[in-house]
Amino acid sequence: MIRTVQGRTLGIVLGLALMSQAKAHDIWIEASSAVCKVGQEMKLSLMLGNHGNHHRDFALRDRIPAGRQQLLVLSPDGSRNDLTSKLQETMLESKTSYWSTGFAASKAGGYQLVSTFDQVMSYAPVRDIKCAKSFLFVKDGSSRSSRKLPKNLSQVGSPFELVPVSDPFESALVGSTFKVQLLFKGKPMRDAVVSFIPKGVELKGDLDPAFEFKTDGSGIAGKAFDRSGQWLIVAHFKDSTAKGTGYDSIGYSATIHLIVAEKPVTAKR
């Protein structure tokens, strides 16, 4: 059971393991479904957590601090719909909460959901920069709707982000290999460990070879999905050389949330 707190305007995994890494809480975005129809309202949830099993799970910590939450919807034509002011606090029975809102698309095509976070944590002292992405395919009932993510939506310009190399609509299927590229300040980051985390599965050890993979020279890593359901793709990096007012390092994190479907069964003739 959940309870939505009304009447307030209140202020997303792939995991990256490096020698200089410091793992903090991640943000990620969950849509109630990966596919919907034009005009159908979907629930979009902005989460903060991922602090169990070496930050490789879906455990919630609590909501992002009020005033720091953000949620953008990037449409197929490149336009942006800022839903930040519509986010409401949603409370779970466990007393943990998160931000959520409804969204109904007026046009068919591939949409990208994006949230970013940038704040100095004075108690650390560290500056946290986060980028979360998810994807939504909207269909209009015709076969003309493109199931591909528009190229202009894949990269959002965050200092640290995961960019889908495989199409998030056509490749989010059991048996398909999904590849991502990790970018740091717009350039590929090599030799970083990217974690592909299926919900409900506990990764083993400090580095699980079944779910965690190093990026190649082009910053690319991938995994073949072996089960359906929610997957979180997460990357982390700590820049100990970055110093500024109130902080002596910067901790980066990037996530992609996917809902992986079973591959359609083709009828035999």
The domain that holds 236 is classified in CATH as 2.60.40.1930
Q: DSSP secondary-structure letter at 240?
A: T
Which whole number is the average pLDDT over 132-152? 80
Residue 6 is predicted with a pLDDT of: 40
Q: What is the pTM of this model?
A: 0.86
Closest residue by Cα to residue 164 from 176, 147, 182, 152: 182
Which whole number is the average pLDDT over 80-97? 91
Residue matched to tokens 């082009």 = 218
Which whole number is the average pLDDT over 241-262? 95
Kindly state whether residue 39 falls inside one of the protein's structural domains.
yes
Which distant-in-sequence residues (6+ apart) come within 8 Å of 166 by Cβ? 176, 177, 178, 179, 180, 222
What are the tens digits of pLDDT across the range 153-196? Answer: 778 999 999 999 999 999 999 999 999 999 999 999 999 999 99
Kindly state whether residue 269 falls inside one of the protein's structural domains.
no
Which whole number is the average pLDDT over 137-161? 80
Instruction: Provide the residue range defining the domain that includes 186.
Output: 2-260
Which whole number is the average pLDDT over 245-253? 95
Kindly state whether residue 128 falls inside one of the protein's structural domains.
yes
The tally of domains found in the chain comes to 1
Kindly state whether residue 265 falls inside one of the protein's structural domains.
no
CA 144 – CA 146 distance, rounded (Å): 6
Q: Is the pLDDT of residue 110 over 70?
A: yes
Kindly state whether residue 267 falls inside one of the protein's structural domains.
no
Which whole number is the average pLDDT over 220-243? 95
Percent over 70 (pLDDT), the chain: 83
Mean pLDDT taken over the chain: 85
The 10 Å Cβ neighbour count of residue 151 is 7
Residue 4 is predicted with a pLDDT of: 42
Of the pLDDT bands very low, low, confident and very high (cuts 50, 70, 90), residue 266 is very low
Kindly state whether residue 165 falls inside one of the protein's structural domains.
yes
Q: Is the pLDDT of residue 220 over 70?
A: yes
Kindly state whether residue 236 falls inside one of the protein's structural domains.
yes
Of the pLDDT bands very low, low, confident and very high (cuts 50, 70, 90), residue 93 is confident
Residue 50 is predicted with a pLDDT of: 64
Which whole number is the average pLDDT over 218-236? 96
Residue 202 is predicted with a pLDDT of: 84
Kindly state whether residue 268 falls inside one of the protein's structural domains.
no
Closest residue by Cα to residue 15 from 205, 218, 262, 244: 205
Residue 269 is predicted with a pLDDT of: 45
